[in-house]
Amino acid sequence: MQAENLSDILDWTIDFHRQLSLCLADCVNENESERARLLLKYLAEREQALTKVVMEFKKTASSKALNTWCYEYLDKHPIIKHKHTDLPFINFSTLQITENVMHMHQQVITLYRDLTAQIVVNSAHKLLRELLSLEEHEAMRMSQSANRLEDL
């Protein structure tokens, strides 16, 4: 995908969460650890929920914000094409699952943080701040829940 504007970035984000959700869900019954299966199921559900939330952001965002160009930034910092299905979640421990999912989320957070610093159009800046906050809070929530599972 060649992203040029914020609408493209939201499409990429929706696809990112959808694909990660599918990958995690596909691995639920394959992992031998009960804790890992619980974590994979939980994370798959959270990723699916994030997919829906970002879709709503796209539906309700102003066309001015969505049409804001960001190709100059993206030329210098291309979006990472994730291949979630390449990760062997079926063989990962709960710690490895958490580390990998948090690493992927950190890349999305960094993208939104950097774009927020670059784009000055008020409506686009506000949209990016809201998306950044959503991604940060969801990553923190998933991490805390994963840590609680480890404490059991």
**3-class secondary structure per residue, 116-147:** HHHCCCHHHHHHHHHHHHHHHHHHHHHHHHHH
Sign of CA dihedral 57, 61, 63, 67: negative
Summarize pLDDT for 51-98 with one digit per residue, the tens: 999 999 999 999 999 999 886 666 665 566 666 565 679 999 999 999
Residue 143 class from Cβ within 10 Å (0-12 exposed, 13-18 middle, 19+ buried)?
Answer: middle
The ranges assigned to domains in the chain are 6-151
> SS3 for 69?
strand
Q: In the prediction, which pLDDT does 22 show?
A: 92
The amino acid that residue 65 corresponds to is A
Tokens of 54: 């970002």
Tokens of 95: 């710690």
Asked whether 113 and 145 are in contact (CB, 8 A), the reply is no
Residues 6+ apart with CB under 8 A from 101: 20, 24, 43, 142
Q: Phi and psi at residue 8, in whole multiples of 5°?
A: -65, -40
6-151: CATH class: mainly alpha
Summarize pLDDT for 9-51 with one digit per residue, the tens: 999 999 999 999 999 999 999 999 999 999 999 999 999 999 9
Q: In the prediction, which pLDDT does 69 show?
A: 87
Q: What is the pTM of this model?
A: 0.89
> SS3 for 7?
helix
Summarize pLDDT for 89-122 with one digit per residue, the tens: 999 999 999 999 999 999 899 999 989 988 888 9
